[in-house]
Amino acid sequence: AQSVTQPDIHITVSEGASLELRCNYSYGATPYLFWYVQSPGQGLQLLLKYFSGDTLVQGIKGFEAEFKRSQSSFNLRKPSVHWSDAAEYFCAVGASGGSYIPTFGRGTSLIVHP
């Protein structure tokens, strides 16, 4: 069965600083990988996704993520964080063949200091 680990429950950064949120997955084959963002009181919005090909994926709002098969990781990065980036971030993994059911990590809460 597939699973996702987000080791950091909370991350605090200063506005303008760089950001990296960690995500490790467990899946027997090449996975589909996703990052979602959830603002307070809102649903989840897709930031970016990886299916195949280039391991560095660009997303919305200036985010990017890199798929590293050797490390079973899909870390999310942003070079300069804005106060509006404060939210909950979820990594998800889906099977690459057959039916696709997204399995989510526990999430990382991003706090941005001015």
Rounded Cα distance between 59 and 12, Å, is 21
Rounded Cα distance between 63 and 95, Å, is 23
3: amino acid identity, one letter: S
Check residue 17 for interaction with another protein (CB under 8 A).
no
Check residue 32 for interaction with another protein (CB under 8 A).
yes
Residue closer to another protein (CB basis): 72 or 109: 109
Which of the residues 54 through 113 are near another protein (CB under 8 A)?
Answer: 90, 94, 99-107
- DSSP conformational letter for 44: E
Check residue 26 for interaction with another protein (CB under 8 A).
no
Among the listed residues 43, 54, 70, 114, the single contact to another protein using CB under 8 A: 43
Rounded Cα distance between 72 and 70, Å, is 6
Rounded Cα distance between 91 and 95, Å, is 14
- DSSP conformational letter for 72: T
Among the listed residues 44, 87, 110, 112, the single contact to another protein using CB under 8 A: 44
Residue closer to another protein (CB basis): 28 or 98: 98
Give the footprint of another protein on this chain (CB under 8 A). 32, 34, 36, 41-46, 49, 51, 90, 94, 99-107
